[in-house]
Amino acid sequence: MLHIIVCVKQVPDSREIRIDPKTNTLIRQGVPSIVNFYDMHGLEEALRIKDELGARVTVVTMGPPPAEKGLKECISLGADEAVLVTDRGFAGADTLATSYVVAETIRKVEEKWGPVDIVFCGKQTLDGDTGQVGPGVACRLDLEQLTYVNKVVQVDEDKRRVKVQRHLEDGVEVVETAMPVLITALKELNKVRRASLPGMIRAARYKPVVWTTADFPGLDRSKIGLKGSPTIVAKTWVPESKPVKTVRVEGASAAEQAGKLFGHLWDGPLPERLGWAAASEARGD
């Protein structure tokens, strides 16, 4: 049976994000958190493979204890197991430190539930927006990686091959590689299902596996949290809002209104040589 891991992250709902005008930092208090929606499309694809071929789906996240809520949502949709990696020592991690911890978590998941065949990640997160964690995990685990995937064409369990369609800036690319593989998902990959009633009941009773730094005896403490994060945010700021000038265009007819509109667009009266108004009148516009 295939073993699929889905990496998810609980992020602030971008529709509710506000910026403190004095500190220029995110105001997180009172802002609801959601599971990063690109990650949800990765989960949906894992569940589709499970429905078609049979698979164990394990969801992994690194974050504070409240991230358990996001894991329960994943369980309600059909994931089999969920792992929360949480510890003050992981706080302040950038993408380099995060990919290190996630990779070590996947190794530990393999020890507990068996070798991993496919790892799904979202192409990026709503808060960081870098798209670096998935490829970083693949490099640390020496996995084949297929990024920006908008369609999984085929998963051949017997031949241990995966064929996908990738969306690139200049077109679409169909590629095939061997498992184990890491795939980063686009929102076009699928439509995320709704949780079933049995799924919601199971999720309400489910307790995710929780691991802290104490559960990783071989963890290099210099590579986690702030110590392991060379990225420095030098400055953040809110873009200045620019006033937009509006003009109400009125006229007795459509032709007159159009003429005045062109006058504003041309920063002057519409040149009579165009004969546009006369032609419009003749057509009855």
What are residue 29's phi and psi, to 5 degrees?
Answer: -65, 130
Strands (E), 138-284: 144-156, 161-168, 171-178, 181-185, 209-211
Q: What is the pLDDT of residue 106?
A: 97
Looking at residues 258-283, what average pLDDT do you find?
Answer: 60
Average pLDDT, rounded, for the chain: 87
What is the reported pTM? 0.79
Name beta bridge partners: 6. Answer: 59, 120
Looking at residues 167-175, what average pLDDT do you find?
Answer: 91
What are residue 126's phi and psi, to 5 degrees?
Answer: -70, -30
Looking at residues 17-31, what average pLDDT do you find?
Answer: 64
pLDDT band at residue 62 under the 50/70/90 scheme: very high
Identify which has the larger pLDDT, 3 or 232: 3
**How far apart, in whole angstroms, are the C-alpha atoms of residue 221 and residue 86?**
14
- Has residue 283 got a pLDDT over 70? no
Looking at residues 154-167, what average pLDDT do you find?
Answer: 95
H or E element in which residue 141 lies: helix 133-141
The pair of structure tokens assigned to 230 is 């060379």
CATH fold of 2-223, please? Answer: Rossmann fold (3.40.50)
Q: What is the pLDDT of residue 23?
A: 57
Q: Which residues make up the CATH 3.40.50.620 domain(s) of the chain?
A: 2-223
